[in-house]
């Protein structure tokens, strides 16, 4: 009986303390990344920087357009990559350390802009000033006609 009680107590203690090991404060590397421009133009180089890496660690950057780059983290734990996109679209740059994804960035590459002759943009839409002036004139004419009709009607006095 004492043996059975000891086993039950041991099992209960194990069930109580087992989750605390899983919930222990994990002090993993605080990896982060940044990009110099998240909306670059086609052909413009973008710098992708990964921080929080142990110095001397090799970081691999995989871009969804097929580019794969590697860099070694410097003494400050920073690895930098220069990426140039050759097509418009939305791309993901994923940083890996030891085959484990540590950070990712989404970049939207804009299509090349079309230059307009003369350097100015074309005028679009219309100038609504004439339309607004005409509408104002009609409102004033209607108000004047209403005043004229009201004055013309004389009050009728019954007698």
In this structure, of 67-76, 118-127, 146-155, the range with the lowest mean pLDDT score is 118-127
CATH number corresponding to 31-109: 2.60.40.1930
Tokens describing residue 124: 């679009």
Give the mean model confidence (pLDDT) for residues 59-67: 93
pLDDT digits (tens, 9 = 90+) for 14-38: 767 666 555 554 555 688 899 999 8
Q: How many CA atoms lie within 13 A of 76 on its CB side?
A: 6
Give the mean model confidence (pLDDT) for residues 45-73: 93
How many CB atoms neighbour CB 144 within 10 A? 10
- Mean pLDDT over the full length of the chain: 83
pLDDT digits (tens, 9 = 90+) for 76-128: 999 999 999 999 999 999 999 999 999 889 999 987 665 555 667 777 777 88
Which residue ranges make up each domain of the chain? 31-109
Strands 68-72 and 79-84: unpaired
Rounded to the nearest 10°, the torsion over CA 9, 13, 16, 17 is -170
- What's the confidence (pLDDT) of residue 110? 84
């Amino acid at each position: 009986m004492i043996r059975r009680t000891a086993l039950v107590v041991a099992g209960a203690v194990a069930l109580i303390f087992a989750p605390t090991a899983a919930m222990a404060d994990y002090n993993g590397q605080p990896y982060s990344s940044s990009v110099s421009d998240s909306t670059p133009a086609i052909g413009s180089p973008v710098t992708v920087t990964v921080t929080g890496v142990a110095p001397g660690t090799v970081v691999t950057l995989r871009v969804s357009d097929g580019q794969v780059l590697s860099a070694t983290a410097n003494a400050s734990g920073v690895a930098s990559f220069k990426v140039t996109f050759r097509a418009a679209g939305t791309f993901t740059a994923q940083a890996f350390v030891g085959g484990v994804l540590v950070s990712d960035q989404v970049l939207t590459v804009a299509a090349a802009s079309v230059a307009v002759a003369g350097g100015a943009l074309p005028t679009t839409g219309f100038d609504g000033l004439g339309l607004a002036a005409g509408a104002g004139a009609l409102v004033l004419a209607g108000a004047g006609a209403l005043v004229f009709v009201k004055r013309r009607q004389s009050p009728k006095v019954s007698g």
